[in-house]
Structure 1
Amino acid sequence: MANVNTGELLDFQDYSPEHNNRSARIDVEAVHTNQYNNTMSNPNYSFDEPKTIEEPEAVPQTNHNFWTIEYYQKYFDVHTNEVVERIISSVLPQKVSRNYFDERIKGKPDLYGPIWISVTLIFTIAVSGNIASYLHNANKKGFVWRYDFHLVSIAATAITCYVWIVPLALWAALKWTTTTDGHDEIENQDAKSPTMMSLFCLYGYSLSIYIPVAVLWTIQVFWLQWLFVLMAAFVSGAVLIFWLMPALRKSRYFLILIGSILAFHFLLAAGFMLYFFHQPNTGDDTIVTTVKP
């Protein structure tokens, strides 16, 4: 190996302009031409034209008639976990967010849960009412007990009328008594009155507290039955006021609407207890009492 003078390597070297141009010149045109010629001469080369991306066609939304079955299909499109969540929120509203009604129920009301709760409550009251009648008269001499099937129809009429008529009246009251505060359109849109279907949904779920209370009403203790009446009416009414408070505040009759909600729930609970579960003592245990179907 030849000896190399490291000193010469470390020194700066001067080069002529010809040498610099000749060593640093890059023939750009030749490189571009060679690449083009190699590409076109390749037999496996194929030119792919740019493809146009086809956008999916929007599905036209059809508005079904109010009297058709298709109109109500969207109100039964609900999952089981959503129904369970709404039942829990109707008894314990602190388990969900404060804007739960505006975020979940107001935008997507359902009728599956309210109908299921109403039917369950009808049969629970009818069966529990007959059990309460039997427990009240079981110790009487010569008593022959028979199941009263009329309690089913009476309970169905009372619950159906309450679930549909009372929310309809509240919707009309909120619609015609709500005052605008002059804010911009976005705020008024967010704070508008709840829809009719959302009130039907909310009132249907508010009756879930009466299902376990109907079983407890079979206990033949008068003061305890009234305690359950007050508890059920307060819980169900307070939940309704809690969810509807933003809409109720914009009504001119704010206090009247709150008092009406609580009063109707109290009358419903008191009517259930007094008609189906409470039987006053006649003082004569020897009278034969029969309940005909």
Structure 2
Amino acid sequence: MANRGYDVVVDVDNEVSTAHRPQTCHTDLQEDLEFHSSNFDQPQGNSRSKIPSDLPAPVTANRSSNSSKRILWTLAFYQQFFDVDTADILKRCTAALYPRASFLDVLDGNPDLYGPFWIATTVVAILFLTGTISGYLAKRGEGHFAYDFRLLSGAAGLIYGYTGVIPVALWGTLKWFGSESANVLECWALYGYANLIWIPVALVSWSPLTALNYAFVGVGFAMSALFLFRNLYPVLSATDVKTSKILLIIVVALHAGLAIAIKILFFAHGSPAAKKIVSGGDRDVGSRMFFRI
């Protein structure tokens, strides 16, 4: 490669007399070598084909601009929050009940609202049904029994309010203290999947035995609080030590309040939601439905 930039032309005289050819044929090539200038390093001018300038832009060029055009009143804006399939939902539900890894790692940067919404809706429906059964068993033999639909509205307000408001408040607090790792969708997903434990708890807490109900609700609180503590601790640790401890205490205290509210309002004999309703004639028509059991 020492003669880079030159063409080497070798002209060998093959007309060598066989009669005078020595045993080892040797030809002096130095006199027949010719060197020519090469144009390898020079621009080729018109020889290089030009790319037409009128071709359309690549498809990927508009992805970022299209994603930024998602506005609040379009369906595409909300579709991104439900971009999961059945396998993803089952995997996340399993990770919520048997937390062997960080739930934020299970989300893999794709938090959803599909699972939290239907989990909260299922909890509301089951709390109403099992709370009604618990109230009936507590008042059996006392005459008329009223299906109090205030249990349904109370369960909806309690579960939807807790799952929707507390994560936003936590996210806002973290932003206030300068945490960059806080994500409101991840907070919603975390609290939404934490409600999954209340489905089996509600299914087994319909008995009139108060001590047994306390035990079931206590197990549900311990599992869900541990789930929240384990996954929120790295996020809350982004603040200073004192602030992170206070926030953790508030998170656990609010979750304990949810568990106590579920126990008292839906699975306690003589609780305000399950108190005996006395028929008052027409004044109760339209607000309650009475059935003879």
Instruction: Provide TM-score, normalisation by structure 1.
Output: 0.70
Q: Aligned-pair distance for 1:263?
A: 1.0
Which of 67, 81, 101 is equivalent to 1:75? 81
CA 1:56 to 1:268, structure 2 compared with 1: closer, same or farther past 3 Å?
same
**Unmatched runs of 5 consecutive residues or more in structure 1:** 1-15, 23-49, 180-191, 282-286
Cα separation, 1, equivalents of 2:184 and 2:222:
23
Asked whether the 8 Å contact 1:229–1:266 carries over to 2, the reply is no
Q: Aligned-pair distance for 1:229?
A: 2.3
Cα separation, 2, equivalents of 1:234 and 1:258:
15
Which of 70, 89, 94 is equivalent to 1:88? 94
Greater strand fraction, Structure 1 or Structure 2:
2
Aligned runs of 1:241-252 on 2, under 5 Å? Answer: 241-252=229-240
Asked whether the 8 Å contact 1:230–1:266 carries over to 2, the reply is no
Cα separation, 1, equivalents of 2:174 and 2:236:
7
Cα separation, 1, equivalents of 2:220 and 2:251:
13
Q: Aligned-pair distance for 1:251?
A: 2.0
In percent, how many aligned pairs have the same letter? Answer: 30
Q: Aligned-pair distance for 1:104?
A: 3.8
CA 1:66 to 1:288, structure 2 compared with 1: closer, same or farther past 3 Å?
closer
Aligned runs of 1:1-293 on 2, under 5 Å? Answer: 18=22, 20-21=24-25, 56-58=58-60, 59-61=62-64, 62=66, 63=68, 64-94=70-100, 97-98=101-102, 100-101=103-104, 103-105=105-107, 107-138=109-140, 140-141=141-142, 143-178=143-178, 192-252=180-240, 253-280=243-270, 292-293=288-289
Cα separation, 1, equivalents of 2:84 and 2:63:
23
Q: Give the aligned residue type for 1:227.
A: A
Cα separation, 2, equivalents of 1:80 and 1:178:
36
RMSD of aligned residue pairs (Cα, Å): 3.0
Higher relative contact order (CA 8 A, sep 6+): 1
2:252 aligns to what SS in structure 1? helix
Cα separation, 1, equivalents of 2:268 and 2:145:
16
2:262 aligns to what SS in structure 1? helix
Q: Aligned-pair distance for 1:17?
A: 5.1
Equivalenced residues, count? 231
Aligned to 2:36: none
Asked whether the 8 Å contact 2:120–2:159 carries over to 1, the reply is yes
**Unmatched runs of 5 consecutive residues or more in structure 2:** 1-19, 27-48
CA 1:117 to 1:262, structure 2 compared with 1: closer, same or farther past 3 Å?
same
Greater helix fraction, Structure 1 or Structure 2:
1
Q: Aligned-pair distance for 1:207?
A: 0.2
Asked whether the 8 Å contact 2:208–2:269 carries over to 1, the reply is no
Q: Give the aligned residue type for 1:93.
A: P
Cα separation, 2, equivalents of 1:123 and 1:288:
21
Asked whether the 8 Å contact 2:95–2:106 carries over to 1, the reply is no
Cα separation, 1, equivalents of 2:74 and 2:163:
22
1:21 aligns to what SS in structure 2? coil
Cα separation, 1, equivalents of 2:136 and 2:153:
19
Asked whether the 8 Å contact 1:124–1:211 carries over to 2, the reply is yes
Instruction: Provide TM-score, normalisation by structure 2.
Output: 0.70
Q: Give the aligned residue type for 2:78.
A: Y
CA 1:246 to 1:178, structure 2 compared with 1: closer, same or farther past 3 Å?
farther
